[in-house]
Amino acid sequence: MSDLPKRVSLREVGPRDGLQNEDPIPTAAKIDLIDALSETGLRRIEAVSFVHPRAIPQMADADEVWSKVRRNDAVRYSALVPNRRGLERALAAGFTDLEVVISASDTHNRENINRSTAESLDALPELTELAHGSGATLQLIVSTAWGCPYEGEVPEERVLWVAGRGVAAGVDSLVYGDTTGMATPTRVVRLVGETRSAHPELPLGLHFHNTRGTGLANLYAALQLGVDDFDAAVAGLGGCPYAPGASGNIATEEVVSMVEDMGVETGVDLDALLDVAEMAERFVGHAAPSQVLRAGPRSRTVPPSS
């Protein structure tokens, strides 16, 4: 087995990505969820997205949620923005860690934000300049990096083109999103390798969905390459309203359970996180897909029947 990172940095995306495909839950519940996650040892949480409420009604209360969150000084909170207006709202709310999503698939990008990929990329330098001018960082998340629900295969050259345009625009970091769970370990290895060859100094993170059951396998493949930055969602919630069939993100508690047993530190209290996963499941009102939430940590035992 290749040497693995000693520690990984997890960004919890449950409050945003995890909820955007659910029926809207009360504002107070969102606040409670973020506050509870902030006490688990997680050090990065994607709290809200500043999108138009007609596009994602689940995020219509972003300003109110953020104004009432009990901030933990040890946690970096980030916000997703789709365009200049969203970025301005995020800056006004006090965020300094911002993310913009651009799809490698032209069809998905049009479905998501009503623009072609090229149009979104053309606007990126202005967004980067505005963020940096306000003392914030801007991360480019390239969605449908391993496939599109409308177009099918997305060529690696197309993904690398989007990443290159992001670098030229001055983004601070890059994340590849497996929006519909079409990645497999060999595909992850190829794309990560090509990206590192082209942009060796660019911080790279990965965002896997478990739609086809390959999420943790993909994460393990990335770990073997030394990748140490991943997104995950509590209870395995998530999905994309503009990606038919897309199911949840890899579950944060499943990632913690697996990598900690492999000797990779996360800094996260698994028992505390499982309590929050139960909370999230109650809030959305249905069973969540997390297997560790069902089975419990490896240390859990039950008395024999006799």
Mean of pLDDT values over 128-157? 97
Pull the structure tokens for residue 170: 């001055």
Q: Which residue has the tokens 């801007």?
A: 138
Which pLDDT score, from 0 to 100, does residue 239 have? 72
pTM exceeds 0.85 for this model: yes
Which pLDDT score, from 0 to 100, does residue 299 have? 84
What does the pLDDT look like over 2-25, one tens digit per residue?
Answer: 689 999 999 999 999 999 989 999
Q: Give the list of residues 6+ apart from residue 15 with CB closer than 8 angstroms, or none.
A: 30, 33, 34, 37, 45, 46, 47, 48, 65
Q: Which residue has the tokens 């990560």?
A: 192
The alpha carbons of the chain give a radius of gyration, in whole angstroms, of 18
pLDDT exceeds cutoff 70 at 232 = yes
Which pLDDT score, from 0 to 100, does residue 292 have? 96
Q: How confident is the model at residue 242 (pLDDT cuts 50, 70, 90)?
A: low
Q: How confident is the model at residue 45 (pLDDT cuts 50, 70, 90)?
A: very high
Q: Can you tell me the distance from the alpha carbon of 159 to that of 193, in angstroms, rounded to the nearest whole number? A: 13
DSSP string over 23-45: PP--HHHHHHHHHHHTTTT--EE
The CA-atom distances, in angstroms, between 38 and each of 46, 73, 78, 124, 266 are 11, 9, 13, 31, 14
pLDDT exceeds cutoff 80 at 247 = no
Asked whether 77 and 45 are in contact (CB, 8 A), the reply is yes
Q: Can you tell me the distance from the alpha carbon of 208 to that of 179, in angstroms, rounded to the nearest whole number? A: 7
pLDDT exceeds cutoff 80 at 226 = yes
Of 94, 90, 118, which is closest to residue 104 (Cα–Cα)?
118
The CA-atom distances, in angstroms, between 225 and each of 8, 18, 104, 219, 220 are 13, 27, 23, 10, 9
Which pLDDT score, from 0 to 100, does residue 87 have? 97
Tell me the residue type at 5.
P
Mean of pLDDT values over 285-294? 94
Q: Can you tell me the distance from the alpha carbon of 6 to that of 113, in angstroms, rounded to the nearest whole number? A: 38
Catalytic amino acids? 240
Residue 165: burial class (beta carbons within 10 Å; 0-12, 13-18, 19+): buried
Q: Can you tell me the distance from the alpha carbon of 173 to that of 79, in angstroms, rounded to the nearest whole number? A: 15
Average pLDDT along the chain:
95
Q: Which residue has the tokens 């965020």?
A: 95
CB-CB neighbours of 73 under 10 Å: 6
* Chain centroid, CA 10 distance in Å: 9
Max alpha carbon distance in the chain (Å)?
Answer: 69
What does the pLDDT look like over 157-203, one tens digit per residue?
Answer: 999 999 999 999 999 999 999 998 999 999 999 999 999 999 999 99
- For the chain, domains (ranges, CATH) are 9-295 (3.20.20.70)
Asked whether 84 and 125 are in contact (CB, 8 A), the reply is no
Q: How confident is the model at residue 243 (pLDDT cuts 50, 70, 90)?
A: low
pLDDT exceeds cutoff 60 at 288 = yes
